[in-house]
Amino acid sequence: MAQVVLGLGTSHSPILNMEPDAWIERGSHDHKHKLRDTSGALVSFDALLERHGDSFAREIDPERIRARHAANQKAVAATEEALYAARPDVVVMFGDDHKEVFHDDNMPSLGIYLGDTIPYAPSGIMKWPYDLKLVTPLWYPQEQREFPVAADLAMHFAESLNEDGFDVATSRYYRPGQAMSHSFGFIYWRFMHNRAVIPTVPIHLNTYFPPNQPTPARCLAIGRALRRAIEAWPKDLRVAVIGTGGLSHFVVDEAFDNEFLEVLASGDADRIGSLPRAKMHSGNSELRCWIAMAGAVEGKQMRVIDYIPCYRTLAGTGCGMAFASWA
């Protein structure tokens, strides 16, 4: 039968694909948006700036940003190495979508891609959106491509989760001009770019957009149901499960990030399922993908590869980068 041999959690923020100078350029756009503070409340950039004064000045020192950039790249490389060391035949990816594929005319809570291949194109966040002077070799490729999908396994997952009581949306192809979410594009680009491409099963969770975001408890249940589906597959397959996104953004919340990692490491289903939904807005919402992955690898030992808080303004905006494995 198939078995889960590895779990991985990884951030997929654009910061991971930017050289250090671009962090500050990215931060220059933060004042345009309403932000969620560490309590989950909506606040303005100016209000955060007034609240914190110069307390984050040390965090955006160029030398510190360069060090954190280097730590990010080291952690990405270590996560890639963990993936290939496990020798998976298939990679199941839990990712979200920023209206790159799904829109307000149809926003499924849970969806599985069933096509034989999934298209990649430089759309949405995967186009360089800030300053052309800052284009970097780390950025997403700008040419189109197709990646292999384990379509028979994807169909089995859809059928099995449906039988297990989950309402599963499915897609066999995307509309002309559409391509995969950056949450999946990141996995292909940063983990498989220099390696043999592993067939995947992309699973979409609507983490961002009310009203049908799955609760933390529901995400855990989805992951557990996926594990049952994997183990019911009659062929011998080694399966890795990846949860992408997060941690805290667009306001860095180191305390919550570390609490989240500790709760996942505990393996305590009640604690995982009761993580505060008030904290899971905006980019924090992507923690749901980690929780679903954690459900699929329940019982395995978690190892934090690294946690790197990446600030980019005096208001404390940025993103908490995290990388972890379960084996």
Q: How far is CA 143 from the centre of its chain?
A: 22
Q: Domain 3-326 falls in which CATH fold?
A: Protocatechuate 4,5-dioxygenase; Chain B (3.40.830)
pLDDT at 136 over 90: no
User: What mean pLDDT is predicted for residues 90-107?
Assistant: 93
Percent of the chain past pLDDT 90, that is, above it, reads 74
Query: In the predicted model, what is the mean pLDDT of residues 21-49?
Result: 87
Q: What percent of the chain has pLDDT over 70?
A: 98
Contact 227, 94 (CB under 8 A): no
Q: What is the pTM of this model?
A: 0.95
Would the pLDDT of 118 be above 80? yes
Alpha-carbon distance values, 211 to 98, 107, 318 (Å): 15, 10, 26
Please report the pLDDT score of residue 20 as a whole number.
86
pLDDT (average), residues 93-107: 92
Residue 279 main-chain phi, psi, to 5 deg: -95, -5
In the predicted structure, residue 38 carries a pLDDT above the cut 70: yes
Q: Where are the domains of the chain?
A: 3-326
Q: Report the pLDDT value the prediction gives residue 138, as an integer from 0 to 100.
A: 87
Q: What is the pLDDT of residue 133?
A: 66
Q: Which of 69-78, 131-140, 245-254 has the lowest mean pLDDT?
A: 131-140
* pLDDT of 29 above 90: no
Higher pLDDT, 230 or 123: 230
Q: What is the pLDDT of residues 252-301, one digit of tens each?
A: 999 999 999 999 999 999 999 899 888 888 889 999 999 999 999 999 99
What is the residue whose two structure tokens read 């979409």? 204
Q: Are 208 and 125 in contact (CB under 8 A)?
A: no
Q: How confident is the model over 170-219, as pLDDT tens digits?
A: 999 998 888 899 999 999 999 999 899 999 999 999 999 999 999 999 99
Average pLDDT of span 135-149 = 89
